[in-house]
A = this chain, B = another copy of it.
Amino acid sequence: MKLSAHRYGKSRVRVLKVLRDGDLHTIKELSARVLLEGEFDRSFTAADNADVVATDTMKNTINVLAHDHLGAENEPFARRVSEHFLGRYVQISRVRVTLDERVWTRLNHPHSFTHSDVAQPFTRVIADADTSSDSGAGAGAGAGRPRPGRLRQESGVRNLVILKSTGSGFEGFHRDDLTTLPETSDRILASAVRATWRWADDREPASYNAANRAIVDAMLVPFAERYSPSVQATLFEMAGAALDVCPEITRVKLVMPNLHCLPIDLRQFGRTNDRTLFVPTDEPHGYIEATVSR
């Protein structure tokens, strides 16, 4: 038996931090996941836990770091968490930190809020130890800490639910004996988009929050305003709009299920249903995914 890959960590570590500016509060609620890769083979193969950082310790770490460092933006905090683990434990070669935010919006009041948004922002860091350095001796040793090496960071949004009630079609596709779908130049297009954008290594936006908002807003423009000849073509335009609006990102990945709204046939009841009444369906659904780079 050979251990060919492994990682471990802690999931669903929830924290809610009250950021205070005098009487004005801001709420930051996150669910964090930290996964570690590194020299943990002996915990699997030899029941030797000596180098294992307990996942309970990982939870404590997120709590303490959130207390000390979590602010209005998630991206720096995710990096901070990754740097802590790489800096403290020489046995770690890679850290993956994912932060899912539950957004609380102010209720026109200094300390009252509503969570009203089905779309969920997230950020993710994959940080590798700098193995080029002749780094320190023992786990947790202060002196010879491995310095963080390559770091990739992505942000995005899950479950961005959008629909256009006209201005969408699907025509000219391949037909054979298993094809029954009619061509149409007027259908409903609905999706629950998952979008992930990667931040450039060498530049940072002035504000991640502002950049993330601008990216989502930009993607919605071609969705709303351009005729959609397919989910594919609309996806490509949406990704392009994101890249156009934010120079600090290098690529965008979009996952767009096609949540079909099917016209209901009412002819047997003496009604002509002229693109008025549809049945929204969850299954089966189309699935389109692409990554667009500069």
CA of A268 to CA of B44 in the docked complex: distance in angstroms? Answer: 31
Is A56 interfacial (CB-CB < 8 Å)? yes
Is there contact, CB below 8 Å, between A48 and B172?
yes
Per-residue CB contact flags for chain A residues 8-30 toward chain B (1 = under 8 Å, else 0) read: 11111111111010000101010
Contact of A170 among B9, B40, B54, B67 (CB under 8 A): B54
- Per the bound structure, the CA–CA distance linking A225 and B243 in Å amounts to 42
Q: Give chain B residues whose Cβ lies under 8 Å from the Cβ of A118.
A: 115-118
Task: Give per-residue flags for A88-110: 1 if the beta carbon is below 8 A from chain B beta carbons, else 0.
Answer: 11000000000000001001110
CB-CB under 8 A for A18 and B269, given A49-B229, A178-B61: no
Knowing A5-B291, A236-B44 are in contact, say whether A166-B25 is a contact too (CB < 8 A). yes
* Also in contact, A33 and B280, with CB within 8 A (given A164-B112, A173-B49, A179-B57): no
* Contacts A57-B179, A111-B167 given; does A35 touch B287 at CB 8 Å: yes
Residue among A47, A109, A119 with most chain B CB within 10 A: A47
Partner of A271, one of B56, B68, B161: B68
Distance from A272 Cβ to chain B, minimum over Cβ atoms (Å): 9
A219 to chain B, nearest CB (A): 11
| Complex: chain B residue closest to A181, CB-CB | B56
Q: Can you tell how many copies of this chain the complex includes?
A: 4
8 A Cβ contacts from A117-139 to B: 117-119, 139
Name which of A145-153, A206-214, A256-264 contacts chain B.
Answer: A256-264
User: A290 to chain B: which residues have CB within 8 Å?
Assistant: 3, 5-7, 44
Contact-size category for A: 35 or more
Query: Is A10 in contact with B49, judged by CB distance below 8 angstroms?
Result: no
CB distance from A27 to the nearest CB of B (A): 6
13 other contacts beyond A11-B287, A111-B165, A114-B160, with CB at 8 A cut-off? Answer: A1-B240, A11-B257, A15-B279, A44-B235, A46-B233, A52-B230, A64-B271, A67-B271, A67-B276, A112-B165, A116-B118, A118-B118, A282-B283
Identify 29 residue pairs between A and B in the complex whose beta-carbon atoms are under 8 Å apart, listed by A's number: A1-B292, A6-B290, A10-B286, A11-B257, A13-B284, A15-B278, A15-B280, A20-B276, A27-B163, A29-B280, A40-B232, A43-B230, A43-B232, A47-B229, A49-B171, A50-B174, A54-B174, A60-B180, A67-B273, A107-B223, A107-B224, A112-B225, A113-B162, A113-B164, A116-B116, A116-B118, A118-B118, A177-B269, A180-B268
6 nearest A-B pairs in the assembled complex, by CB-CB distance: A112-B224, A12-B283, A6-B290, A56-B181, A55-B286, A109-B224
